[in-house]
Structure 1
Amino acid sequence: MWLILTVALLGGPSAMGIGCTAEDTWTGCPKSETNGSEVVVSAERPGGSEIENGWFNGRSDDDSDDTPASPETTPPAPATPPVDDCRPTDPASCTVQPDPPPAIPQPTLSDVARFAPASAPLIDEPDGVGVVGMPMNFVVDATTHEVTGTLFDLPVTVRFTPTSVLFVHGDGTSRESDDGGQSWATLGLAQFSATSTSHAYSTRGTYTASAAVRYAADVNFGGGWITVPGTLEIPTTAGDVQIFEVRTALVDKTCLENPSGIGC
Protein backbone atom coordinates (compact mmCIF):
# COMPACT_ATOMS: atom_id res chain seq x y z
CA MET A 1 0.00 0.00 0.00
CA TRP A 2 1.03 3.62 -0.40
CA LEU A 3 1.69 6.14 2.39
CA ILE A 4 1.00 9.77 1.50
CA LEU A 5 1.74 12.54 3.99
CA THR A 6 0.87 16.16 3.44
CA VAL A 7 2.90 18.67 5.48
CA ALA A 8 2.06 22.38 5.50
CA LEU A 9 5.02 24.67 5.09
CA LEU A 10 5.27 27.80 7.22
CA GLY A 11 7.88 29.29 5.05
CA GLY A 12 8.08 29.64 1.33
CA PRO A 13 8.52 26.94 -1.26
CA SER A 14 11.45 24.61 -0.52
CA ALA A 15 12.60 21.09 -1.24
CA MET A 16 12.31 18.40 1.39
CA GLY A 17 14.43 15.28 1.45
CA ILE A 18 13.52 12.02 3.14
CA GLY A 19 15.97 9.15 3.55
CA CYS A 20 15.60 5.37 3.78
CA THR A 21 17.13 3.02 6.35
CA ALA A 22 17.49 -0.76 6.48
CA GLU A 23 14.92 -0.98 9.25
CA ASP A 24 12.23 0.70 7.22
CA THR A 25 9.30 -1.56 6.53
CA TRP A 26 8.38 0.54 3.61
CA THR A 27 9.77 -0.43 0.24
CA GLY A 28 11.10 2.04 -2.19
CA CYS A 29 12.50 5.36 -1.08
CA PRO A 30 9.73 7.78 -0.13
CA LYS A 31 9.00 10.41 -2.73
CA SER A 32 8.22 14.04 -1.92
CA GLU A 33 6.64 16.83 -3.88
CA THR A 34 6.05 20.46 -2.94
CA ASN A 35 3.97 23.30 -4.35
CA GLY A 36 5.49 25.99 -2.16
CA SER A 37 2.99 25.80 0.66
CA GLU A 38 2.90 22.08 1.45
CA VAL A 39 4.91 18.89 0.95
CA VAL A 40 3.38 15.56 -0.11
CA VAL A 41 5.38 12.48 0.88
CA SER A 42 4.44 8.98 -0.38
CA ALA A 43 5.86 5.48 0.12
CA GLU A 44 4.74 1.84 -0.54
CA ARG A 45 4.46 -1.05 1.95
CA PRO A 46 4.14 -4.69 0.69
CA GLY A 47 0.71 -6.34 0.79
CA GLY A 48 -1.04 -3.19 1.92
CA SER A 49 -3.38 -0.64 0.50
CA GLU A 50 -2.83 3.05 -0.04
CA ILE A 51 -2.66 5.10 3.16
CA GLU A 52 -3.31 8.83 3.04
CA ASN A 53 -2.62 11.14 6.02
CA GLY A 54 -2.44 8.13 8.38
CA TRP A 55 -5.84 6.77 7.39
CA PHE A 56 -6.42 3.24 5.99
CA ASN A 57 -9.44 2.89 3.76
CA GLY A 58 -11.23 5.62 5.59
CA ARG A 59 -10.15 4.58 9.08
CA SER A 60 -7.09 4.90 11.31
CA ASP A 61 -4.35 2.29 11.35
CA ASP A 62 -5.00 1.94 15.05
CA ASP A 63 -8.66 1.20 14.44
CA SER A 64 -8.11 -1.94 12.40
CA ASP A 65 -10.73 -4.68 12.43
CA ASP A 66 -9.35 -8.16 13.00
CA THR A 67 -12.67 -9.81 12.15
CA PRO A 68 -11.95 -12.32 9.36
CA ALA A 69 -13.75 -11.73 6.13
CA SER A 70 -16.67 -14.00 5.42
CA PRO A 71 -15.75 -16.69 2.88
CA GLU A 72 -17.39 -16.42 -0.45
CA THR A 73 -20.27 -18.86 -0.86
CA THR A 74 -20.72 -20.73 -4.15
CA PRO A 75 -24.35 -20.82 -5.26
CA PRO A 76 -25.67 -24.40 -5.49
CA ALA A 77 -25.80 -25.97 -8.92
CA PRO A 78 -29.29 -26.11 -10.38
CA ALA A 79 -30.96 -29.47 -9.82
CA THR A 80 -31.23 -31.74 -12.81
CA PRO A 81 -34.90 -32.14 -13.65
CA PRO A 82 -36.27 -35.69 -13.64
CA VAL A 83 -36.59 -37.32 -17.03
CA ASP A 84 -40.37 -37.15 -16.87
CA ASP A 85 -40.53 -33.51 -15.72
CA CYS A 86 -40.65 -31.97 -19.18
CA ARG A 87 -41.18 -28.24 -19.42
CA PRO A 88 -42.84 -26.85 -22.56
CA THR A 89 -40.55 -23.81 -22.42
CA ASP A 90 -37.45 -26.00 -22.41
CA PRO A 91 -38.05 -29.19 -24.46
CA ALA A 92 -34.37 -30.15 -24.21
CA SER A 93 -34.46 -30.25 -20.40
CA CYS A 94 -35.73 -33.82 -20.32
CA THR A 95 -36.63 -36.88 -22.34
CA VAL A 96 -40.30 -37.63 -22.93
CA GLN A 97 -41.16 -41.14 -21.79
CA PRO A 98 -43.90 -43.04 -23.67
CA ASP A 99 -47.05 -43.91 -21.78
CA PRO A 100 -46.96 -47.48 -20.41
CA PRO A 101 -49.18 -49.97 -22.21
CA PRO A 102 -52.53 -50.55 -20.54
CA ALA A 103 -52.68 -53.50 -18.19
CA ILE A 104 -54.41 -56.53 -19.73
CA PRO A 105 -56.80 -58.35 -17.37
CA GLN A 106 -56.38 -62.08 -16.92
CA PRO A 107 -58.76 -63.66 -19.46
CA THR A 108 -61.28 -66.20 -18.17
CA LEU A 109 -63.14 -69.01 -19.90
CA SER A 110 -66.20 -66.77 -20.04
CA ASP A 111 -64.17 -64.15 -21.93
CA VAL A 112 -63.01 -66.60 -24.63
CA ALA A 113 -66.12 -68.81 -24.85
CA ARG A 114 -67.37 -66.94 -27.92
CA PHE A 115 -64.21 -67.97 -29.80
CA ALA A 116 -64.73 -71.67 -29.03
CA PRO A 117 -64.84 -74.27 -31.85
CA ALA A 118 -68.11 -75.64 -33.09
CA SER A 119 -69.46 -78.92 -31.82
CA ALA A 120 -67.78 -81.95 -33.42
CA PRO A 121 -69.82 -84.96 -34.61
CA LEU A 122 -69.79 -88.29 -32.78
CA ILE A 123 -69.05 -91.22 -35.08
CA ASP A 124 -70.05 -94.74 -34.06
CA GLU A 125 -69.08 -98.03 -35.71
CA PRO A 126 -70.75 -100.02 -37.14
CA ASP A 127 -73.02 -97.08 -38.10
CA GLY A 128 -75.61 -97.01 -35.34
CA VAL A 129 -76.05 -100.77 -34.99
CA GLY A 130 -74.41 -103.05 -32.46
CA VAL A 131 -74.59 -106.48 -30.91
CA VAL A 132 -74.96 -107.27 -27.25
CA GLY A 133 -71.60 -108.07 -25.69
CA MET A 134 -69.57 -106.95 -28.72
CA PRO A 135 -67.58 -103.67 -28.80
CA MET A 136 -68.89 -100.62 -30.66
CA ASN A 137 -66.25 -98.08 -31.66
CA PHE A 138 -66.78 -94.34 -30.99
CA VAL A 139 -64.69 -91.61 -32.62
CA VAL A 140 -64.61 -87.82 -32.26
CA ASP A 141 -62.41 -85.85 -34.63
CA ALA A 142 -61.23 -83.03 -32.33
CA THR A 143 -58.31 -80.87 -33.47
CA THR A 144 -56.60 -77.65 -32.38
CA HIS A 145 -58.72 -74.61 -33.17
CA GLU A 146 -57.27 -71.09 -33.60
CA VAL A 147 -59.21 -67.90 -34.32
CA THR A 148 -58.50 -64.15 -34.29
CA GLY A 149 -60.74 -61.38 -33.02
CA THR A 150 -60.94 -58.59 -30.44
CA LEU A 151 -60.85 -59.00 -26.68
CA PHE A 152 -60.73 -56.12 -24.14
CA ASP A 153 -60.75 -53.79 -27.18
CA LEU A 154 -57.42 -55.30 -28.28
CA PRO A 155 -56.64 -57.58 -31.24
CA VAL A 156 -56.19 -61.14 -30.03
CA THR A 157 -55.59 -64.69 -31.23
CA VAL A 158 -57.33 -67.44 -29.26
CA ARG A 159 -56.18 -71.05 -29.44
CA PHE A 160 -58.13 -74.09 -28.22
CA THR A 161 -56.29 -77.40 -27.80
CA PRO A 162 -58.22 -80.63 -27.05
CA THR A 163 -56.93 -82.28 -23.88
CA SER A 164 -59.41 -85.16 -23.47
CA VAL A 165 -62.75 -86.53 -24.64
CA LEU A 166 -65.50 -87.86 -22.38
CA PHE A 167 -67.67 -90.53 -24.05
CA VAL A 168 -71.16 -91.03 -22.62
CA HIS A 169 -72.71 -94.30 -23.83
CA GLY A 170 -76.33 -93.76 -22.81
CA ASP A 171 -76.61 -96.87 -20.64
CA GLY A 172 -75.32 -95.16 -17.50
CA THR A 173 -71.63 -95.67 -18.27
CA SER A 174 -68.97 -93.29 -19.58
CA ARG A 175 -65.32 -93.36 -20.54
CA GLU A 176 -62.66 -90.64 -20.77
CA SER A 177 -59.87 -90.80 -23.33
CA ASP A 178 -56.82 -88.62 -23.94
CA ASP A 179 -57.92 -88.25 -27.56
CA GLY A 180 -60.96 -88.74 -29.77
CA GLY A 181 -59.96 -92.22 -30.94
CA GLN A 182 -59.58 -93.64 -34.48
CA SER A 183 -61.64 -95.76 -36.81
CA TRP A 184 -61.15 -99.51 -37.18
CA ALA A 185 -59.87 -98.99 -40.71
CA THR A 186 -57.27 -96.43 -39.57
CA LEU A 187 -56.14 -98.75 -36.81
CA GLY A 188 -56.10 -101.72 -39.19
CA LEU A 189 -58.53 -103.72 -37.05
CA ALA A 190 -61.53 -105.89 -37.90
CA GLN A 191 -65.08 -104.88 -36.95
CA PHE A 192 -66.11 -105.38 -33.34
CA SER A 193 -62.50 -105.13 -32.20
CA ALA A 194 -61.88 -103.41 -28.88
CA THR A 195 -60.20 -99.98 -28.99
CA SER A 196 -59.30 -97.24 -26.48
CA THR A 197 -62.67 -95.60 -27.15
CA SER A 198 -64.97 -98.62 -27.70
CA HIS A 199 -67.84 -99.83 -25.52
CA ALA A 200 -69.80 -103.09 -25.35
CA TYR A 201 -73.49 -102.92 -24.38
CA SER A 202 -74.75 -105.68 -22.12
CA THR A 203 -78.47 -105.44 -22.98
CA ARG A 204 -80.31 -105.01 -26.21
CA GLY A 205 -82.15 -101.74 -26.78
CA THR A 206 -81.81 -98.22 -28.17
CA TYR A 207 -79.35 -95.88 -26.51
CA THR A 208 -78.44 -92.24 -27.07
CA ALA A 209 -74.66 -91.91 -27.15
CA SER A 210 -72.79 -88.57 -26.92
CA ALA A 211 -69.41 -87.13 -26.03
CA ALA A 212 -67.82 -83.88 -24.79
CA VAL A 213 -64.45 -82.49 -25.86
CA ARG A 214 -62.44 -80.66 -23.20
CA TYR A 215 -60.27 -77.82 -24.51
CA ALA A 216 -57.44 -75.83 -22.94
CA ALA A 217 -57.45 -72.19 -24.06
CA ASP A 218 -54.59 -69.72 -24.68
CA VAL A 219 -54.70 -66.11 -25.85
CA ASN A 220 -52.09 -63.94 -27.54
CA PHE A 221 -52.34 -60.13 -27.63
CA GLY A 222 -49.07 -59.86 -29.55
CA GLY A 223 -46.64 -60.38 -26.69
CA GLY A 224 -46.82 -64.16 -26.31
CA TRP A 225 -49.31 -66.81 -25.29
CA ILE A 226 -51.21 -66.43 -22.02
CA THR A 227 -52.88 -69.53 -20.53
CA VAL A 228 -56.52 -69.22 -19.56
CA PRO A 229 -57.17 -71.16 -16.32
CA GLY A 230 -59.47 -74.18 -16.53
CA THR A 231 -60.83 -76.17 -19.47
CA LEU A 232 -63.80 -75.51 -21.71
CA GLU A 233 -66.13 -78.44 -22.41
CA ILE A 234 -67.84 -78.53 -25.82
CA PRO A 235 -70.49 -81.27 -26.28
CA THR A 236 -70.60 -83.25 -29.51
CA THR A 237 -73.64 -84.17 -31.51
CA ALA A 238 -75.62 -87.06 -30.05
CA GLY A 239 -76.84 -90.16 -31.87
CA ASP A 240 -78.99 -93.22 -31.24
CA VAL A 241 -77.52 -96.69 -31.43
CA GLN A 242 -79.54 -99.92 -31.65
CA ILE A 243 -78.18 -102.92 -29.88
CA PHE A 244 -79.44 -106.35 -30.92
CA GLU A 245 -79.18 -109.71 -29.29
CA VAL A 246 -77.91 -112.49 -31.53
CA ARG A 247 -78.83 -116.12 -30.91
CA THR A 248 -77.44 -119.14 -32.74
CA ALA A 249 -78.76 -122.67 -33.23
CA LEU A 250 -77.48 -125.80 -34.89
CA VAL A 251 -79.56 -127.00 -37.82
CA ASP A 252 -79.02 -129.59 -40.45
CA LYS A 253 -80.20 -127.41 -43.31
CA THR A 254 -80.16 -123.76 -44.24
CA CYS A 255 -83.30 -121.62 -44.25
CA LEU A 256 -83.30 -121.81 -48.03
CA GLU A 257 -83.31 -125.55 -47.87
CA ASN A 258 -85.78 -125.72 -44.97
CA PRO A 259 -87.73 -122.46 -44.62
CA SER A 260 -89.69 -123.86 -41.69
CA GLY A 261 -86.54 -124.74 -39.74
CA ILE A 262 -85.56 -123.24 -36.39
CA GLY A 263 -84.68 -119.58 -36.69
CA CYS A 264 -86.11 -119.27 -40.21
Structure 2
Amino acid sequence: MRLIRLHLAILAALSMVLVGVITAVPSPVPSIANSCDSKTAKDRFKIRCKDSKKGPKRDRTPPKKDRDGSGRGGGNRNGDNSDRDRRDNNADSGPRACQLLEGDPGSRARQCERRRPPSPDRDSNSPPDTDFYVEPPPDVTWEDVGETSIPPSDIFVMPEGWGVVNKPVAVWAGNNSSRTETMELAGYTVEIRVTPAQYKWNFGDGNTTTTTSAGRKPRYAHDADISHSYTESGDYTINLTTSYVGQFRVDGGPWEDIPGTAEIASTPVPVEIYRYVRYLVDEDCTKNPDGPDCP
Protein backbone atom coordinates (compact mmCIF):
# COMPACT_ATOMS: atom_id res chain seq x y z
CA MET A 1 0.00 0.00 0.00
CA ARG A 2 2.80 2.39 0.90
CA LEU A 3 4.49 1.65 -2.43
CA ILE A 4 1.30 2.51 -4.37
CA ARG A 5 0.93 5.83 -2.51
CA LEU A 6 4.56 6.73 -3.26
CA HIS A 7 4.04 6.11 -6.99
CA LEU A 8 0.89 8.25 -7.01
CA ALA A 9 2.70 11.13 -5.30
CA ILE A 10 5.55 11.01 -7.83
CA LEU A 11 3.09 11.03 -10.75
CA ALA A 12 1.23 14.02 -9.29
CA ALA A 13 4.45 15.99 -8.88
CA LEU A 14 5.58 15.27 -12.44
CA SER A 15 2.21 16.38 -13.84
CA MET A 16 2.42 19.72 -12.00
CA VAL A 17 5.96 20.37 -13.36
CA LEU A 18 4.85 19.68 -16.95
CA VAL A 19 1.88 22.05 -16.66
CA GLY A 20 4.14 24.89 -15.39
CA VAL A 21 6.61 24.48 -18.26
CA ILE A 22 3.87 24.53 -20.88
CA THR A 23 2.29 27.73 -19.52
CA ALA A 24 5.70 29.53 -19.45
CA VAL A 25 6.46 28.96 -23.15
CA PRO A 26 4.96 31.77 -25.37
CA SER A 27 3.00 31.15 -28.51
CA PRO A 28 5.24 30.61 -31.55
CA VAL A 29 5.63 33.52 -34.03
CA PRO A 30 6.70 31.89 -37.30
CA SER A 31 6.99 35.15 -39.32
CA ILE A 32 9.59 36.64 -36.96
CA ALA A 33 12.18 34.03 -37.80
CA ASN A 34 12.09 34.98 -41.48
CA SER A 35 12.00 38.79 -41.39
CA CYS A 36 13.06 40.08 -37.96
CA ASP A 37 15.63 39.54 -35.25
CA SER A 38 14.20 38.95 -31.82
CA LYS A 39 15.85 39.66 -28.52
CA THR A 40 14.59 38.96 -25.02
CA ALA A 41 14.99 41.46 -22.20
CA LYS A 42 13.14 41.19 -18.90
CA ASP A 43 10.78 38.50 -20.26
CA ARG A 44 9.70 40.74 -23.21
CA PHE A 45 10.38 40.43 -26.93
CA LYS A 46 12.08 43.30 -28.81
CA ILE A 47 11.73 42.93 -32.59
CA ARG A 48 13.96 44.67 -35.18
CA CYS A 49 12.50 44.34 -38.70
CA LYS A 50 14.62 44.03 -41.86
CA ASP A 51 11.91 44.41 -44.49
CA SER A 52 13.14 47.40 -46.62
CA LYS A 53 9.75 47.76 -48.30
CA LYS A 54 8.27 49.19 -45.15
CA GLY A 55 10.56 52.27 -45.28
CA PRO A 56 13.05 53.53 -42.74
CA LYS A 57 12.55 52.92 -39.09
CA ARG A 58 10.75 55.68 -37.26
CA ASP A 59 12.01 56.83 -33.94
CA ARG A 60 9.09 56.48 -31.52
CA THR A 61 11.09 57.66 -28.53
CA PRO A 62 9.29 60.64 -26.95
CA PRO A 63 11.28 63.88 -27.05
CA LYS A 64 13.25 64.88 -24.02
CA LYS A 65 11.91 67.75 -22.01
CA ASP A 66 13.97 70.78 -21.18
CA ARG A 67 14.63 71.83 -17.66
CA ASP A 68 11.71 74.21 -17.81
CA GLY A 69 9.41 71.33 -18.76
CA SER A 70 8.38 72.88 -22.05
CA GLY A 71 9.15 69.72 -24.00
CA ARG A 72 10.56 71.66 -26.93
CA GLY A 73 13.35 69.15 -27.34
CA GLY A 74 17.02 69.57 -27.84
CA GLY A 75 18.08 68.37 -24.41
CA ASN A 76 20.17 71.50 -23.66
CA ARG A 77 19.70 74.45 -21.40
CA ASN A 78 18.55 76.78 -24.12
CA GLY A 79 16.00 74.36 -25.54
CA ASP A 80 17.54 74.55 -29.03
CA ASN A 81 16.31 72.10 -31.62
CA SER A 82 19.01 69.51 -32.35
CA ASP A 83 17.76 69.05 -35.92
CA ARG A 84 18.18 72.76 -36.58
CA ASP A 85 21.70 72.61 -35.17
CA ARG A 86 22.57 69.79 -37.55
CA ARG A 87 21.27 71.78 -40.51
CA ASP A 88 23.33 74.78 -39.48
CA ASN A 89 26.45 72.64 -39.22
CA ASN A 90 25.94 71.42 -42.77
CA ALA A 91 25.92 74.95 -44.22
CA ASP A 92 28.94 77.04 -45.15
CA SER A 93 28.92 80.73 -44.36
CA GLY A 94 30.87 81.65 -47.51
CA PRO A 95 31.19 80.62 -51.14
CA ARG A 96 32.92 77.36 -52.00
CA ALA A 97 34.25 78.45 -55.39
CA CYS A 98 34.02 81.56 -57.53
CA GLN A 99 35.07 82.56 -61.04
CA LEU A 100 34.70 85.68 -63.16
CA LEU A 101 31.69 85.76 -65.43
CA GLU A 102 32.53 85.20 -69.07
CA GLY A 103 31.41 87.33 -71.99
CA ASP A 104 31.86 90.83 -70.56
CA PRO A 105 35.57 91.70 -70.31
CA GLY A 106 34.76 94.80 -68.26
CA SER A 107 32.67 92.97 -65.68
CA ARG A 108 34.03 92.42 -62.20
CA ALA A 109 31.18 90.18 -61.05
CA ARG A 110 31.83 86.56 -60.19
CA GLN A 111 29.68 83.45 -60.33
CA CYS A 112 29.99 81.59 -57.06
CA GLU A 113 28.96 78.19 -55.76
CA ARG A 114 28.04 77.75 -52.13
CA ARG A 115 26.21 75.33 -49.90
CA ARG A 116 22.97 76.15 -48.15
CA PRO A 117 21.11 74.07 -45.55
CA PRO A 118 18.14 71.91 -46.59
CA SER A 119 14.67 73.38 -46.27
CA PRO A 120 12.87 72.82 -42.94
CA ASP A 121 10.45 70.29 -44.46
CA ARG A 122 13.31 67.99 -45.47
CA ASP A 123 15.17 65.46 -43.37
CA SER A 124 17.75 67.26 -41.25
CA ASN A 125 20.36 64.62 -42.11
CA SER A 126 20.07 65.32 -45.85
CA PRO A 127 23.18 66.79 -47.52
CA PRO A 128 23.09 70.56 -48.16
CA ASP A 129 21.96 71.86 -51.52
CA THR A 130 24.27 73.60 -54.00
CA ASP A 131 23.36 77.16 -54.87
CA PHE A 132 24.81 79.26 -57.71
CA TYR A 133 24.67 83.04 -57.50
CA VAL A 134 26.32 86.13 -58.96
CA GLU A 135 28.39 88.08 -56.45
CA PRO A 136 28.99 91.79 -57.18
CA PRO A 137 32.56 92.95 -56.62
CA PRO A 138 33.40 95.41 -53.85
CA ASP A 139 33.48 99.16 -54.39
CA VAL A 140 36.68 100.60 -52.95
CA THR A 141 36.62 103.82 -50.91
CA TRP A 142 39.36 105.87 -49.31
CA GLU A 143 38.31 104.40 -45.98
CA ASP A 144 39.22 100.95 -47.32
CA VAL A 145 42.57 102.22 -48.59
CA GLY A 146 43.44 103.99 -45.35
CA GLU A 147 44.87 107.46 -45.78
CA THR A 148 47.51 106.71 -43.17
CA SER A 149 49.16 104.36 -45.68
CA ILE A 150 49.92 107.35 -47.97
CA PRO A 151 53.07 109.17 -46.78
CA PRO A 152 52.93 112.99 -46.68
CA SER A 153 54.95 115.15 -49.05
CA ASP A 154 58.15 116.74 -47.78
CA ILE A 155 58.47 120.56 -47.88
CA PHE A 156 61.70 122.12 -49.15
CA VAL A 157 62.56 125.84 -48.88
CA MET A 158 65.31 128.00 -50.46
CA PRO A 159 66.94 129.76 -48.67
CA GLU A 160 66.60 127.06 -46.04
CA GLY A 161 64.71 128.35 -43.02
CA TRP A 162 64.96 132.07 -43.76
CA GLY A 163 64.23 134.80 -46.29
CA VAL A 164 64.28 138.53 -46.94
CA VAL A 165 61.36 140.90 -47.19
CA ASN A 166 60.20 141.39 -50.78
CA LYS A 167 62.58 138.67 -52.00
CA PRO A 168 61.25 135.34 -53.34
CA VAL A 169 61.36 132.25 -51.15
CA ALA A 170 61.35 129.12 -53.30
CA VAL A 171 59.35 126.06 -52.23
CA TRP A 172 58.81 122.57 -53.69
CA ALA A 173 57.51 119.18 -52.57
CA GLY A 174 59.23 115.81 -52.44
CA ASN A 175 58.41 112.17 -51.67
CA ASN A 176 55.20 112.36 -53.65
CA SER A 177 55.42 109.83 -56.48
CA SER A 178 52.59 107.52 -57.53
CA ARG A 179 52.21 104.31 -55.54
CA THR A 180 50.56 100.95 -56.19
CA GLU A 181 49.62 98.54 -53.43
CA THR A 182 47.79 95.21 -53.27
CA MET A 183 45.23 94.30 -50.63
CA GLU A 184 42.59 91.64 -49.93
CA LEU A 185 39.02 92.90 -49.74
CA ALA A 186 35.96 90.63 -49.34
CA GLY A 187 37.85 87.70 -50.80
CA TYR A 188 39.07 89.65 -53.83
CA THR A 189 42.59 90.69 -54.76
CA VAL A 190 42.41 94.47 -55.14
CA GLU A 191 45.17 96.69 -56.53
CA ILE A 192 45.20 100.32 -55.38
CA ARG A 193 47.02 103.09 -57.28
CA VAL A 194 47.31 106.61 -55.81
CA THR A 195 48.68 109.67 -57.61
CA PRO A 196 49.21 113.25 -56.31
CA ALA A 197 46.94 115.66 -58.19
CA GLN A 198 47.14 119.02 -56.37
CA TYR A 199 49.40 120.83 -53.92
CA LYS A 200 47.80 123.40 -51.65
CA TRP A 201 50.40 125.76 -50.18
CA ASN A 202 49.78 128.02 -47.20
CA PHE A 203 52.63 130.46 -46.51
CA GLY A 204 51.44 131.52 -43.07
CA ASP A 205 50.90 135.20 -43.87
CA GLY A 206 47.36 134.80 -45.22
CA ASN A 207 48.49 133.94 -48.75
CA THR A 208 47.88 130.56 -50.38
CA THR A 209 48.40 128.99 -53.79
CA THR A 210 47.36 125.71 -55.43
CA THR A 211 49.49 123.98 -58.05
CA THR A 212 49.29 120.77 -60.03
CA SER A 213 53.05 120.40 -60.01
CA ALA A 214 55.25 119.59 -57.04
CA GLY A 215 57.86 122.08 -58.22
CA ARG A 216 61.60 121.50 -58.37
CA LYS A 217 64.80 122.62 -56.71
CA PRO A 218 65.96 125.76 -58.55
CA ARG A 219 69.47 127.06 -59.04
CA TYR A 220 68.39 130.42 -57.66
CA ALA A 221 65.27 131.32 -55.72
CA HIS A 222 64.03 133.73 -58.39
CA ASP A 223 64.11 130.87 -60.94
CA ALA A 224 61.78 128.64 -58.91
CA ASP A 225 58.56 127.15 -60.27
CA ILE A 226 56.81 127.95 -56.96
CA SER A 227 57.84 130.89 -54.78
CA HIS A 228 56.45 133.50 -52.42
CA SER A 229 57.62 136.95 -51.30
CA TYR A 230 56.84 138.17 -47.78
CA THR A 231 56.10 141.86 -47.26
CA GLU A 232 56.78 141.93 -43.54
CA SER A 233 59.57 140.55 -41.44
CA GLY A 234 58.79 137.97 -38.80
CA ASP A 235 58.40 134.25 -38.14
CA TYR A 236 56.11 132.25 -40.42
CA THR A 237 55.11 128.64 -40.94
CA ILE A 238 54.67 127.05 -44.36
CA ASN A 239 52.04 124.31 -44.64
CA LEU A 240 51.29 121.93 -47.51
CA THR A 241 48.34 119.62 -48.18
CA THR A 242 48.62 117.15 -51.06
CA SER A 243 45.43 115.90 -52.74
CA TYR A 244 45.67 112.34 -54.03
CA VAL A 245 43.39 110.68 -56.56
CA GLY A 246 43.09 106.91 -56.65
CA GLN A 247 42.18 104.01 -58.86
CA PHE A 248 41.55 100.35 -58.16
CA ARG A 249 41.06 97.12 -60.04
CA VAL A 250 39.75 93.75 -58.90
CA ASP A 251 41.37 90.44 -59.83
CA GLY A 252 43.33 92.01 -62.68
CA GLY A 253 40.30 93.72 -64.24
CA PRO A 254 40.11 97.25 -65.66
CA TRP A 255 41.13 100.25 -63.58
CA GLU A 256 38.30 102.25 -61.97
CA ASP A 257 38.32 105.57 -60.12
CA ILE A 258 37.99 105.81 -56.35
CA PRO A 259 35.40 108.53 -55.60
CA GLY A 260 36.77 111.73 -54.06
CA THR A 261 40.32 112.51 -53.01
CA ALA A 262 42.62 111.84 -50.09
CA GLU A 263 43.97 114.98 -48.39
CA ILE A 264 47.39 114.35 -46.84
CA ALA A 265 48.95 117.10 -44.70
CA SER A 266 52.71 117.55 -44.52
CA THR A 267 54.86 118.46 -41.55
CA PRO A 268 54.98 122.32 -41.36
CA VAL A 269 58.28 124.12 -41.96
CA PRO A 270 59.13 127.39 -40.11
CA VAL A 271 60.86 130.30 -41.85
CA GLU A 272 62.24 133.56 -40.48
CA ILE A 273 61.96 136.63 -42.72
CA TYR A 274 64.44 139.49 -42.32
CA ARG A 275 64.42 143.10 -43.49
CA TYR A 276 67.43 144.79 -45.08
CA VAL A 277 68.53 148.06 -43.45
CA ARG A 278 70.95 150.38 -45.29
CA TYR A 279 73.40 152.70 -43.61
CA LEU A 280 75.65 155.41 -45.05
CA VAL A 281 79.05 154.87 -43.48
CA ASP A 282 82.56 155.96 -44.29
CA GLU A 283 84.20 152.69 -43.23
CA ASP A 284 83.41 149.04 -43.55
CA CYS A 285 83.30 146.59 -40.65
CA THR A 286 86.91 145.55 -41.23
CA LYS A 287 88.19 149.02 -40.52
CA ASN A 288 85.49 149.85 -37.99
CA PRO A 289 84.20 146.71 -36.26
CA ASP A 290 81.95 148.85 -34.06
CA GLY A 291 80.06 150.25 -37.05
CA PRO A 292 76.30 149.74 -37.59
CA ASP A 293 75.27 146.06 -37.96
CA CYS A 294 78.86 144.89 -37.67
CA PRO A 295 79.21 141.57 -35.86
278, 291, 294: which one aligns with 1:248: 278
Q: Does 1:262 align with 2:292?
A: yes
TM-score by length of 1: 0.57
115, 140, 148: which one aligns with 2:173: 140
**Distance in structure 1 (CA, Å) of the matches to 2:203 and 2:187:** 42
**Distance in structure 2 (CA, Å) of the matches to 1:210 and 1:116:** 20
Structure 1 pair 100–177 and aligned structure 2 pair: CA distance change class (3 A): same
Relative to its length, the structure with more helix (as a share) is 2
Structure 1 pair 205–154 and aligned structure 2 pair: CA distance change class (3 A): same
Contiguous gaps of at least 5 residues in structure 2:
1-130
Q: Does 1:113 align with 2:143?
A: no
Please list the CA deviations of residues 82-136 of structure 1 after superposition, one character each: whole Å capped at 9, or x if unmatched: xxxxxxxxxxxxxxxx956520132222222257421121111111111111111
Relative to its length, the structure with more strand (as a share) is 1
185, 196, 199: which one aligns with 2:225: 196
What secondary structure does 2:146 align onto? helix
Structure 1 pair 223–122 and aligned structure 2 pair: CA distance change class (3 A): same
Contact 2:138 2:185 in 1 (8 A): no
Contact 2:147 2:264 in 1 (8 A): no
**Distance in structure 1 (CA, Å) of the matches to 2:234 and 2:212:** 29
What secondary structure does 1:242 align onto? strand
Q: Which has the larger radius of gyration?
A: 1
What secondary structure does 1:111 align onto? helix
Identity rate, percent: 28
Q: How does 1:1-264 map to 2 (within 5 A)?
A: 99=132, 102-114=135-147, 116-141=149-174, 142-185=176-219, 190=220, 192-193=221-222, 195-221=224-250, 222-264=252-294
What secondary structure does 2:285 align onto? coil
Paired residue type of 1:168:
N
Find the counterpart in structure 2 of residue 55 from structure 1: none
**Distance in structure 2 (CA, Å) of the matches to 1:154 and 1:105:** 8
Structure 1 pair 194–133 and aligned structure 2 pair: CA distance change class (3 A): farther
**Distance in structure 2 (CA, Å) of the matches to 1:237 and 1:245:** 26
Offset at 1:231? 1.2
**Distance in structure 2 (CA, Å) of the matches to 1:200 and 1:216:** 30
Please list the CA deviations of residues 157-176 of structure 1 after superposition, one character each: whole Å capped at 9, or x if unmatched: 10001111011111121110
TM-score by length of 2: 0.51
**Distance in structure 2 (CA, Å) of the matches to 1:173 and 1:194:** 20
**Distance in structure 2 (CA, Å) of the matches to 1:167 and 1:180:** 10
Find the counterpart in structure 2 of residue 84 from structure 1: none
Contact 1:175 1:197 in 2 (8 A): no
Paired residue type of 2:156:
I
Please list the CA deviations of residues 21-54 of structure 1 after superposition, one character each: whole Å capped at 9, or x if unmatched: xxxxxxxxxxxxxxxxxxxxxxxxxxxxxxxxxx
Offset at 1:194? 5.0
**Distance in structure 2 (CA, Å) of the matches to 1:100 and 1:224:** 22
What secondary structure does 2:143 align onto? helix
Offset at 1:260? 3.2
Paired residue type of 1:104:
P
**Distance in structure 2 (CA, Å) of the matches to 1:184 and 1:196:** 8
Contiguous gaps of at least 5 residues in structure 1:
1-97
**Distance in structure 1 (CA, Å) of the matches to 2:203 and 2:262:** 21
